[in-house]
A and B are shown apart, each in its own frame.
Chain A
Amino acid sequence: MLGRLSVIASLCVGTVAVTASRAPVLQLSYLLYVASESEDEVTLLRFTPGEGLTIEKVIAVGVFPAEIEAPHGIFVDPDGSRWYLTLGHGFPFGSLWMYATGSDTVVSRMDLGLFPSTVAVPPVGGLAFAVNSNFHGDLEPSTISIVDLETMIEIERLETCVMPHGSRFSPDGTKHYSTCMMDDELIELDVATLDIARRLDLSPQTPAGNGGLGSVCSPTWAMPAASGDYVYVACNRSDELLEVRLDDWSIARRWPAPTAPYNIAVTPDDERLVVTQKGSGAVTVWNRATAERIAFIPSSRKVTHGVVVTPDSRYAFVSVEGIGGEPGAVDVIDLQTLRQVATVDVGKQAGGIAFWKTEG
């Protein structure tokens, strides 16, 4: 990736040199999308270090101007040409939308299950895995929709557990990870066969499902390490972070976190975990090797939601929902100084957040 960026940067410098008498210093900037669930809009943002975080564009989404359709999950295709969005509410089913990056126009759409939330695309592209969380229905097993993105056909609807959430791939794209908020499980899917490969009980000293007593861990997110050897899980209810070792499919470590950890990002250099603390209204940063907390950074508003990290591991972008009529927000955290360096208001209940590209 770094090599490719260098080439792009060189080309840009060359172009500027031809057209200007004095080559300006090219400023690195990062572009990202964030979905605002209670505003039915997606915001395209640009962060330029030293200059701040600005709104490039606000994209209204959905088809019913008089109903909230709840854009929740968002993911940019690894080739950068498309972004994918789940709308949680429908009549009754939610939907998956494909947009072209740049023009931000709709390319295609299709129906999913009940309240689809997180969506992700593997590194090789071509498929979307969207979890049908069914947040508010009866507590019955729900599914993961697997969609072929060229045809926008759902090729598999795989039943996993009650209230699945989170959707992320291993770095090599061969495995997919999601959690079961009400069953306290981590689910590993085999991408080649689209079968459930393994299930892991995440609740401490209780059987899966907790004997009907309700979830203990209530895992909301599973994020593989860049090295592909571990998956990190946020136990939203028990206020814990879990490290799952993949070679023997066991919980290697579990350690306490502030209130209600929700989403996790692993820095691409694999050194840190960046965790949104939904109940604390904050972000925590952890040393991945030692599980030592190295920062607790209050968010600009309450109800911290999603997080993505730039490919250079330098910045984390964090979505913050806010409460009631408050706008949502996106905060930028400098992972070197461990400080919030920028924030901008976006539509209400900012949630899904996706990194698009680096420019400059």
Chain B
Amino acid sequence: MRLRTSWLALGLLAAFTSSLAAQTTARVELTSPTPTIAVGDRVQLTARVFDANGNVLDVAVRFFSSSRREFPISRDGLLQPTRGGEYVAYVRVNTARNVRDSIAFSVDFPPVRNVVITPTSERFFVGASVRHEATVYDETDFLRRDVPVTWSTDDPGIASVDRYGELTAHRAGIAILTATAEGVRQSHRYTVIPNPIRTLTLSMSQDSARTGDVLHATAIALDAGGQRVSDAPVSFSLIAHPEDTVVAQFPPAEIDQQGRFVAQKAGDYTILAIAPGHVARYTVQIANRLVTQEVQFIGQGPVRDVPTSDLWIWEGVDGRDYAVTGTWGANGVAYFWDVTDPSSPELIDSVVVDARTVNDVKISEDGRVAVISREGASNRRNGIVILDVTNPRDVQIHSTFDDELTGGVHNVFIYDNHVYAVNNGRRFDVINIEDPTNPHRVGRFELDTPGHAIHDVWVVDGIAYTSNWGDGVVLIDVGNGIMGGSPSNPIKITSYADFGGATHAAFPYESPTGKFYVFMGDERGRPGFDGQEGNVPPLMGGYIHIVDFTDPMNPEEVARYEVPEAGSHNLWIEDDKLYAAYYNGGMRVVDISGELKGNLMYQNREIARYLAYDPEGYVPNAPFTWGPQPYKGNLFFAEHNSGLWAVKLQPRRVLTP
């Protein structure tokens, strides 16, 4: 720790100014006692203010930094960098026009403290090649990706290593593998032994399959005694012979180092298992996944004067089928429809509340209570409105609830007599509606991560699945029992944040395979959206991340459904089918049967797509699909620009020559 200061500084920092300063201040000059600085140093910056004649003025100045966390500068100019890198120190006179100065600093990182080599084991086989990673930390425990690492072995005749850390053993002996970063060395001692592997066999979970099916490769290495060599280093690769050999296609198949193989193109694929001195092969045949089905338009409940938001379909207490749709950026109306005949949705009632957006609409399990969300209330008290929908032709307001819920409720879910309401984009509140005329808060849940936010909540089997933008999806026990949670005491179970950080909606799915997936949908504005003028549909981006939560404490992102030309919005899963609203990309139905891996978009898993064009729509002929719900064999979905739609998947036609 060093303190560098200048006597000049302190006398210039008096908090004095006057309107005269604005007229006379001409420039400010920032100086540092040193051009170089390191993490942990303390450097007192100084500034002098001059008038147009070069006279020094007694005027208050303000120092600031290009990066407050890594390069903090106190308001009086004391600089104490906490991390290396390129930064800028500034000083300005607040009461004068454009009077500022700056100095660029290159802050030295602290020395490297340690290097960690992975993976490691005690023994290494002659002929084996294994790639190693070196993780470098400096004295502040900061992970340093910028530091070059060099690799070496003590005896290249026994084992050699390339510049990427791939170690290859040549003969038996002791091999010391060393990674060096800024002179700090970390070594690992291997005992190189003669390769015990005598045979290597490879099997696949299936000989033939379809595109999108996940096959598992199993390689078994045996020694001369026929015993399994459990630590045999085996890697997998493949040789593709796809039917479609068009140049510059995307890779036709992939296999990971756990032996999970999936093909995107039909053809023959030879899987390779590679162990020291041995290569085993297994060829599988992949056929096209023939799952496409035609879609028949059934009916439309047009809403053309305002944009439509979410929907919910339910069977009323009278046995008829009903739908409710919200509206967005409009007049606070929710529409109720009789969809018993889905070919002719009948508008039967509406409710208008003081809001501009009724983004979400939900119905209780017994079909008697609806909850609609409010945003844009004229008095800024938003909250929720609880409706009696026992008779959907005469919807009545049970009650409103906005206590500490004023900031706009964007999404809600009803589960077991409780409303889970996303509150102000920061948390969800749990509101008991056993007596819907007397709602009252019983609990709430808020993440404690910096800058946390929440967009959506969905509850299944006592677990709330919240979508939290950069914090990804969070699973919370609200009555499942796994963590002892309840509506009044929600307890976090686990979470997963994807790389993109745009988690907007999530839907859990217990696959018949035994896998438990959570589908996490992004919401992204497409780059380049800059506010086009006129009534034109915007473009959206983002995709659906598929995360394997079978081991809830170790979730693994395994697949995606990414439509290149459009972005994801709300989704629903039922009977091995993903129903995904994809904004400009319309309504998509995707086969999610079996284990999932890779990008489902390119695996012929798409069953159907439907783009709802309405020439009289709010934006004419502009599909902007908001949310789906399969119901009694039909697929209902909300179209932002044209209201409620119903379509039906037709039985797959098998063409017989």
Is B19 an interface residue when CB atoms closer than 8 A count as contact? yes
**Cβ–Cβ contact A321 & B378, under 8 A:** yes
Distance in angstroms between the alpha carbons of A104 and B18 in the assembled complex: 34
**Cβ–Cβ contact B330 & A174, under 8 A:** no
Q: Known: A68-B329, A349-B376. Contact between A126 and B532, CB under 8 A?
A: no
Q: Known: A58-B533, A135-B406, A349-B356. Contact between A65 and B22, CB under 8 A?
A: no
Is A303 an interface residue when CB atoms closer than 8 A count as contact? yes
**Cβ–Cβ contact B356 & A192, under 8 A:** no
Closest beta carbon of chain B to A257's beta carbon, Å: 19
Out of A67, A93, A122, A126, which one reaches B451, CB within 8 Å? A93
Out of B352, B380, B455, B529, which one reaches A324, CB within 8 Å? B352
Q: Using Cβ atoms and an 8 Å threshold, which residues of chain B touch A60?
A: 531-533
Is B262 an interface residue when CB atoms closer than 8 A count as contact? no
**Cβ–Cβ contact B424 & A194, under 8 A:** no
Is B354 an interface residue when CB atoms closer than 8 A count as contact? yes
Q: Using Cβ atoms and an 8 Å threshold, which residues of chain A touch B22?
A: 123-124, 172-173
Q: Using Cβ atoms and an 8 Å threshold, which residues of chain B touch A326?
A: 331
Distance in angstroms between the alpha carbons of A322 and B376 in the assembled complex: 11
**A300-325 at interface with B (beta carbon < 8 Å):** 302-303, 321-325
Bitwise, A54-93 to B at CB < 8 A (1) or not (0) is 0001111111111110000000000000000000011111
Q: Using Cβ atoms and an 8 Å threshold, which residues of chain B touch A321?
A: 378
Q: Known: A63-B525, A191-B95, A348-B356. Contact between A136 and B15, CB under 8 A?
A: no
Is A127 an interface residue when CB atoms closer than 8 A count as contact? yes
Distance in angstroms between the alpha carbons of A90 and B569 in the assembled complex: 18
**Cβ–Cβ contact A66 & B540, under 8 A:** yes
Is A38 an interface residue when CB atoms closer than 8 A count as contact? yes
Q: Known: A92-B453, A151-B90. Contact between A324 and B15, CB under 8 A?
A: no
Interface size, chain B (Cβ < 8 Å): 65
Q: Known: A39-B329, A66-B583, A302-B378. Contact between A125 and B18, CB under 8 A?
A: no
Out of B15, B533, B569, which one reaches A193, CB within 8 Å? B15
Q: Using Cβ atoms and an 8 Å threshold, which residues of chain B touch A154?
A: 68
Q: Using Cβ atoms and an 8 Å threshold, which residues of chain A touch B333?
A: 325
Q: Which of B4-12, B58-66, B166-174, B252-260 contacts A (4 or more CB under 8 A)?
A: B58-66
Is A8 an interface residue when CB atoms closer than 8 A count as contact? no
Q: Using Cβ atoms and an 8 Å threshold, which residues of chain A touch B17?
A: 174, 190-193
Residue of A nearest to B425 (CB): A92
Bitwise, A28-70 to B at CB < 8 A (1) or not (0) is 0000000001110100000000000000011111111111100
Out of A39, A106, A126, A155, which one reaches B98, CB within 8 Å? A126
Interface class of chain A by DSSP: loop
Q: Using Cβ atoms and an 8 Å threshold, which residues of chain B touch A246?
A: none
**B398-452 at interface with A (beta carbon < 8 Å):** 406-408, 424-426, 451-452
Closest beta carbon of chain A to B327's beta carbon, Å: 8
Q: Using Cβ atoms and an 8 Å threshold, which residues of chain B touch A135?
A: 380, 406-407
Interface class of chain B by DSSP: loop
**Cβ–Cβ contact A64 & B525, under 8 A:** yes
Q: Using Cβ atoms and an 8 Å threshold, which residues of chain A touch B426?
A: 92, 137
Q: Using Cβ atoms and an 8 Å threshold, which residues of chain B touch A92?
A: 424-426, 451-453
Q: Using Cβ atoms and an 8 Å threshold, which residues of chain B touch A93?
A: 451
Residue of B nearest to A61 (CB): B531
Is A7 an interface residue when CB atoms closer than 8 A count as contact? no
Closest beta carbon of chain A to B531's beta carbon, Å: 3
Bitwise, A185-197 to B at CB < 8 A (1) or not (0) is 0000011111100
Distance in angstroms between the alpha carbons of A113 and B42 in the assembled complex: 29
Is B470 an interface residue when CB atoms closer than 8 A count as contact? yes
Is A153 an interface residue when CB atoms closer than 8 A count as contact? yes
Bitwise, A250-290 to B at CB < 8 A (1) or not (0) is 00000000000000000000000000000000000000000
Residue of B nearest to A172 (CB): B19
**B475-508 at interface with A (beta carbon < 8 Å):** none
Q: Using Cβ atoms and an 8 Å threshold, which residues of chain A touch B60?
A: 192-193
**Cβ–Cβ contact B329 & A91, under 8 A:** no
**Cβ–Cβ contact A323 & B64, under 8 A:** no
Closest beta carbon of chain B to A143's beta carbon, Å: 14
Closest beta carbon of chain A to B226's beta carbon, Å: 59
Out of B95, B357, B376, which one reaches A192, CB within 8 Å? B95
Distance in angstroms between the alpha carbons of A110 and B425 in the assembled complex: 19
Q: Using Cβ atoms and an 8 Å threshold, which residues of chain A touch B382?
A: 136
Distance in angstroms between the alpha carbons of A325 and B426 in the assembled complex: 26
Distance in angstroms between the alpha carbons of A105 and B376 in the assembled complex: 27
Bitwise, A5-34 to B at CB < 8 A (1) or not (0) is 000000000000000000000000000000
Q: Known: A63-B525, A65-B525, A66-B583. Contact between A348 and B540, CB under 8 A?
A: no
Is B355 an interface residue when CB atoms closer than 8 A count as contact? yes
Cβ contacts A to B, 23 pairs, < 8 Å: A59-B533, A60-B533, A64-B525, A89-B425, A91-B469, A92-B451, A106-B530, A122-B94, A122-B95, A123-B22, A125-B98, A148-B64, A148-B100, A151-B90, A172-B22, A192-B60, A193-B17, A193-B60, A193-B94, A194-B75, A302-B378, A324-B354, A324-B376
Q: Which positions in B face A, CB cutoff 8 Å? A: 15-19, 21-22, 59-60, 62, 64-66, 68, 75, 90, 92-98, 100, 306, 329-333, 352, 354-357, 375-376, 378, 380, 382, 406-408, 424-426, 451-453, 455, 469-470, 523, 525, 529-533, 538-540, 569, 583, 640
Q: A59-B533, A192-B21 are in contact. List 11 more A-B contacts (CB 8 A).
A: A57-B533, A58-B533, A62-B531, A65-B529, A122-B94, A126-B94, A153-B64, A192-B16, A303-B378, A348-B329, A348-B376
3 closest Cβ contacts across the A-B interface? Answer: A136-B407, A325-B331, A60-B531
